[in-house]
Amino acid sequence: MNLGLGEEQAAVRRLAKDFVAREVTPYAAEWDRRERVDRGIVKKLGAVGFLGLTLPEEYGGSGGDHLSYALVTEELGRGDSAVRGIVSVSLGLVAKTIAAWGGEEHKRRWLPPLASGEAVGCFALTEPGTGSDAGSLATRAVRDGAEYVINGSKMFITNGTWADVVLLFARTTDADDASGHRGISAFLVPADTPGLERREIHGKLGLRGQATAELLLTDVRVPASALLAPQGKGFAVAMSALAKGRMSVAAGCVGIAQAALDAAVGYATEREQFGKTLAHHQLVQELISDIAVDVDAARLLTWRVADLIDRGEPFATEASKAKLFASEAAVRAAGNALQVFGGYGYIDEYPVGKLLRDARVMTLYEGTSQIQKLIIGRALTGVSAF
């Protein structure tokens, strides 16, 4: 489907397809088995310009619009969602947030290496006891002269063990009335800062090759200049990052669903049962047609978000709709594809089992499906059910 794509966007999409076919797809199954993506992929992503998309060229970015970014993340999700996550977090959640909220010093220091792949970023919001309720952070940053001293922990942090810079959220006041999102601040913490310990998480259901970590912070000292935005504005920083991040997740889910469709059609037109290919059976065609409709609907919802961002219009509710639908659609698509494969879908010689495992987490992170429904419901009714 090329609806609405200009020449430059179509060229970006072809570049992404070629990159994935050459650098990602041949290795995805092995990375999944060994639970580790080759770290060298980061500089390759930087060299081809994918880590600098939408970032200003004066800071080392490669420019481009958000639809181009969505096209790239879709193709990466189609090849390996673990690789897509590297870009979505380091660029989508960290570099774009620095570009939007940071001062000149922040931009000059961090954007060029993040865009080139010389550095990787991670987004440290979730805590062991705080997931959807992001306003209840327990990690604290206490002012001590010209520095802040940070103590606490973070959980399920994508790129956590690879990161060179941590976009960290912490509560910066001890006042009893500073509950909820009030008093949360955002910091840029170099990953080699003393007192910051990183522990990789293994045994995940999906995204097994992705570097996911727990972060432990013990008397981590950073200068006041590490504040990304004024003290107390961290919740706004986090929510603005996640609103755009949901478009990236949705695009990655379109990639998963498209991969499921490709696999199901390919297998159904080759595999024979009852003297004819699977594609001749009506209920198999039903499974495939359901996937195809989900792919197109999720893609168009995602492209709408990209268009709104590029036109400078409000997009947060539409991003929640796209993320909600696309993530659930990816699970359905992968499940239907596995059904087409039958027993062969249950072994990792074929791709559909991995697609299903990778799709499942998409309904959980960057806001669960239930949280997206509450965001959409609040926008429609004016009533917050949080």
Q: Which sequence positions are flagged as catalytic?
A: 366
CA atoms within 13 A on the CB side of 15: 17
Please state, in angstroms and rounded to a whole number, the distance separating the CA atoms of residues 251 and 289. 20
The DSSP line for 316-363 is HHHHHHHHHHHHHHHHHHHHHHHHHHGGGGGSTTSSHHHHHHHHHGGG
- The 3-state DSSP class for residue 276 equals strand
Please state, in angstroms and rounded to a whole number, the distance separating the CA atoms of residues 148 and 124. 17
What's the start-to-end Cα distance of the chain, in Å?
38
Contact 184, 169 (CB under 8 A): yes
- The 3-state DSSP class for residue 299 equals helix
Q: How many CB atoms lie within 10 A of CB 194?
A: 9
